[in-house]
Amino acid sequence: MNAARDLIGGRINNVLRRTQAAASSSLHCPSLSAITGTRALTTLTPKAALHGTEPDDSSSSSQQSAASPFPATLKDGEYPVLPAPPIPPHIPRPYFALTHDGKPQTPFPPFDPNGEVKTARQIDGMKKAARLAARALRVALEESRMGVTTDEVDRRVHEFLVQNGAYPSGVGFHGFPRACCVSPNEVAAHGIPNLRPLQEGDIVNYDITCYLEGFYGDTSAMALVGNVSGRHRELSDTTKECLERAISMLKPGVPLRAIGEAIKSHAEAKGFSVNADFHGHFIGEEMHLPPVVSPLPPSRGGDIPLRKGQIFTIEPILTEGSPYLRTWSDGWTCVTRDNGFTAQWEHTVLITADGAEILTVVD
């Protein structure tokens, strides 16, 4: 899932009102403000969001829609969300799945605020989890056809992960109801699988996280359904190119800020915006570890040098119009304020002696 949420996150629109009380007692990441120039709060969502970069959301969604340059393709609450399939008791559970509220472990175990360097044992475990997440993502992409519901796609992913001994990490995470975040069209993040059939021209992000043998795998990609417009295809392609460009310059000693710089320059050259709310994250035996991996150059700091053995995700979200978001009444689904389409691609990467290895690939 796309972001460093347990330590760092933030508040988007009405998610703030729903989670403020819980966030007030949570652990803060000591290096986040130095990296991003924003205040750190624990987010209760599968991605890390930083509040404070967008204007205050004081207008109603109907007022926003009336002024939007793009037509909405989705409607808040239009389609039902069904319960997740059962998870057999023999599947090992992450900590959050054993609690009544789905929150990760607090106080958080000791961590390196400059990015944990993994042991050989941890790297082996991460590679297994990352490969399985990538295989599950392939299942989702292969199932994405016109007329198929996102509920059906999520069920196939859920079943695949369980059959392979993994816990589908979306289920129960801070109350999230399903295995995958499925975000079509103007949904930027945290879309909940439901009974809406996929339609011609949809572009859909599947963000999949699994928990396997004590480690998390995390990846996402876009599915393009039927006859997709040239501009929306370009949006998806450019987002993938931003990810690839960022990965290509990784090696020990490169400052963390360089990732955001690479993403921003390529996205803007193609005429797209980069959303500032959602970030990549370090990952390991916890789903989200510090520091955040920003898709934009941080306002200050960000000079932390990368080190061999670090593992983190890069997951830019690009929009065809405004990068600003609002949240649906379910408290999860984040959509663009102007209804513009969005795209996201994500990999989990390992810093090696002379570059980076992408872990979320299928052999």
DSSP 8-state class, residue 79: S
Average pLDDT over residues 291-313: 91
- What percent of the chain clears pLDDT 90, i.e. is strictly above it? 75
Tell me: the pLDDT tens digits for 58-109? Answer: 333 333 444 678 999 999 999 999 999 999 999 999 999 998 888 877 656 7
Tell me: the pLDDT tens digits for 3-55? Answer: 533 433 333 333 333 333 233 222 222 223 333 333 332 333 444 433 333 43
Instruction: Return the axis-axis angle of helices 120-143 and 150-163, rounded to nearest 10°.
Output: 140
Model pTM score: 0.85
**Residue 27 located in a structural domain:** yes
**Helix intervals (H) in 144-273:** 150-163, 230-248, 257-269
User: Is residue 244 very low, low, confident or very high in pLDDT (cuts 50, 70, 90)?
Assistant: very high
pLDDT for 59 equals 36
pLDDT for 108 equals 62
Range of the domain at 329: 5-358
pLDDT for 301 equals 65
Q: Which of 116, 56, 125, 150 is nearest to 312 (CA)?
A: 116
Phi, psi torsion values for 206, nearest 5 degrees: -110, 120
> What gap in Å lies between CA 68 and CA 323, rounded to an integer?
13
Q: Which of 93, 84, 87, 91 is nearest to 165 (CA)?
A: 91
**Residue 363 located in a structural domain:** no
**Residue 349 located in a structural domain:** yes
Q: H-helix or E-strand containing 358?
A: strand 356-358
pLDDT for 228 equals 98
The answer to whether the beta carbons of residues 340 and 186 sit under 8 Å apart is: yes
Average pLDDT over residues 206-228: 98
Tell me: the pLDDT tens digits for 160-215? Answer: 999 999 999 999 999 999 999 999 999 999 999 999 999 999 999 999 999 999 99
Phi, psi torsion values for 112, nearest 5 degrees: -95, 115
Q: Which of 235, 140, 145 is nearest to 186 (CA)?
A: 235
pLDDT for 104 equals 78
pLDDT for 288 equals 94
pLDDT for 344 equals 98
**Residue 245 located in a structural domain:** yes
pLDDT for 67 equals 62
pLDDT for 101 equals 80
Question: Residues of 303-318 as b/e, b for ≥16 C-beta within 10 angstroms?
Answer: ebebeebbbbbbbbbb
Instruction: Return the axis-axis angle of helices 257-269 and 230-248, rounded to nearest 10°.
Output: 150
Annotated binding site for a divalent metal cation: 207, 218, 281, 315, 346
In this structure, what CATH number is given to the domain that contains residue 152?
Answer: 3.90.230.10
pLDDT for 3 equals 56
Q: Which of 63, 3, 344 is nearest to 184 (CA)?
A: 344
Angle at 100 between CA 96 and CA 105, to 5 degrees: 30
Angle at 134 between CA 99 and CA 232, to 5 degrees: 105
- Which of the residue ranges 44-58, 138-152, 299-313, 349-363 would you say has the lowest mean pLDDT? 44-58
**Residue 297 located in a structural domain:** yes
pLDDT for 235 equals 98
**Residue 119 located in a structural domain:** yes
**Residue 256 located in a structural domain:** yes
For residue 180, what are its two tokens?
């995958």
Average pLDDT over residues 311-333: 97
Statement: residue 279 has pLDDT above 70: yes
> What gap in Å lies between CA 32 and CA 211, rounded to an integer?
25
Statement: residue 286 has pLDDT above 70: yes
Residue with tokens 């000791």: 110
157-161 CB contacts, 8 Å cutoff, 24+ apart: 157/206, 157/208, 158/84, 158/85, 159/85, 160/135, 160/136, 161/132, 161/136, 161/210
Beta bridge partners of 48: 279
DSSP 8-state class, residue 289: E
pLDDT for 248 equals 98
> What gap in Å lies between CA 133 and CA 126, rounded to an integer?
10
Phi, psi torsion values for 336, nearest 5 degrees: -70, 145
Residue 291, classed as helix, strand or coil, is: strand
Annotated binding site: 190, 207, 218, 281, 288, 315, 346
Cα-based torsion angle of the residue sequence 193, 194, 199, 205 in order, rounded to the nearest 10 degrees: -10
Annotated binding site for substrate: 190, 288
Mean confidence (pLDDT) of the chain:
85
Domain count of the fold of the chain: 1
**Residue 292 located in a structural domain:** yes
